[in-house]
């Protein structure tokens, strides 16, 4: 009779969702998150959860909660892609919440300044010309850098097409119509590094240059971009 009573109690426990034995604690989740650099668009992440019951990863870092999924090769690892929100700033700290089953955890992550992968260099050839002259601009910046901007200058036409490799790109452009003689910046940004060189727009043939000053040097008034120094790359 006692054995029968114990069997009834066990059956009742199963029907009501109660555990007949000691409760088993949920697995402690482990989050793998790469360093987040300002300028990145998205990052891969994963959470280890042997129970395969992942909570979405939530943070103001991301445009929306990151849902995770596993693959046959690693069934206990949940993988996802976090798309980074606009307006993040270097040095800002954000809470990241994640979990496995009923266990939730939170850690804090700081956004790092942009990094620069490889070399960053800018070359302009020739370094001077007149309206309509062709100019070649060479940008050295590995394509994985974020940002990786197109060179710009108030003296040159927009640079929309390039040829080259993943590390070095060549832009063909011209001196912009209507631009006045002077010394102009040509600039771009490669990851956490900015580069600036200078291009001189020469006066048309027959036009008198500005009067010489201080031992024969020609005074060239900056037009457009603000000068930051000599003619060497910044």
User: What CATH number has the domain bearing residue 192?
Assistant: 2.60.40.10
Q: Which of 64, 92, 110 marks a domain boundary?
A: 110
Do 103 and 127 fall within a single domain?
no
Residue 14 tokens read as: 């199963």
Q: Which of 85, 110, 135 marks a domain boundary?
A: 110
Q: Which residue has the higher pLDDT, 220 or 115?
A: 115
The answer to whether residue 55 is domain-embedded is: yes
Whether 98 contacts 92, CB under 8 Å: no
How many domains is the chain built from? 2
CA 41 → CA 37, 38, 179, distances in Å? Answer: 9, 9, 36
Please give the share of the chain, as a percent, with pLDDT higher than 70: 77
The answer to whether residue 225 is domain-embedded is: no
Residue range of the domain that includes 100: 26-110
**What is the model's pLDDT at position 130?**
96
Reported as a pLDDT band with limits 50, 70 and 90, residue 27 is: confident
DSSP-assigned beta bridge partners for residue 164? 169
The answer to whether residue 146 is domain-embedded is: yes
Reported as a pLDDT band with limits 50, 70 and 90, residue 31 is: very high
CA-based nearest residue to 107, from 51, 27, 26, 30: 30
Average pLDDT over residues 219-233: 41
Do 54 and 106 fall within a single domain?
yes
**What is the model's pLDDT at position 143?**
87
Do 84 and 40 fall within a single domain?
yes
Look up the CATH number of the domain holding residue 90: 2.60.40
Contacts (Cβ under 8 Å, ≥6 apart) of 2: none
Do 65 and 37 fall within a single domain?
yes
Do 49 and 88 fall within a single domain?
yes
């Amino acid at each position: 009779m006692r054995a029968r009573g114990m069997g009834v109690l066990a059956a009742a426990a199963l029907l009501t969702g109660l555990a007949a034995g000691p409760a088993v604690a949920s697995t402690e989740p482990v989050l793998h998150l790469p360093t987040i650099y300002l300028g990145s668009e998205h990052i891969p992440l994963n959470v280890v959860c042997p129970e395969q019951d992942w909570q979405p990863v939530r943070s103001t870092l991301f445009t929306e909660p990151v849902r995770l999924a596993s693959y046959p090769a690693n069934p206990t690892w949940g993988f996802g892609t976090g798309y980074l929100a606009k307006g993040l700033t270097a040095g800002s700290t954000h809470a990241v919440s994640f979990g496995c089953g009923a266990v939730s955890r939170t850690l804090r992550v700081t956004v790092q300044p942009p990094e620069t992968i490889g070399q960053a260099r800018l070359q302009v050839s020739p370094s001077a010309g007149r309206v309509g002259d062709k100019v070649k601009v060479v940008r050295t910046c590995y394509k994985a850098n974020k940002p990786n901007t197109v060179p710009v200058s108030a003296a040159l036409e927009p640079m929309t097409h390039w040829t080259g490799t993943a590390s070095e790109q060549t832009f063909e452009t011209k001196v912009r119509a209507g631009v006045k003689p002077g010394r102009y910046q040509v600039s771009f940004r490669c990851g956490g590094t900015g580069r600036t060189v200078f291009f001189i727009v020469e006066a048309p043939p027959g036009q008198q240059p500005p009067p010489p000053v201080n031992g024969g040097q020609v005074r060239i008034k900056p037009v457009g971009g603000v000068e930051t120094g000599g003619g060497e790359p910044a």
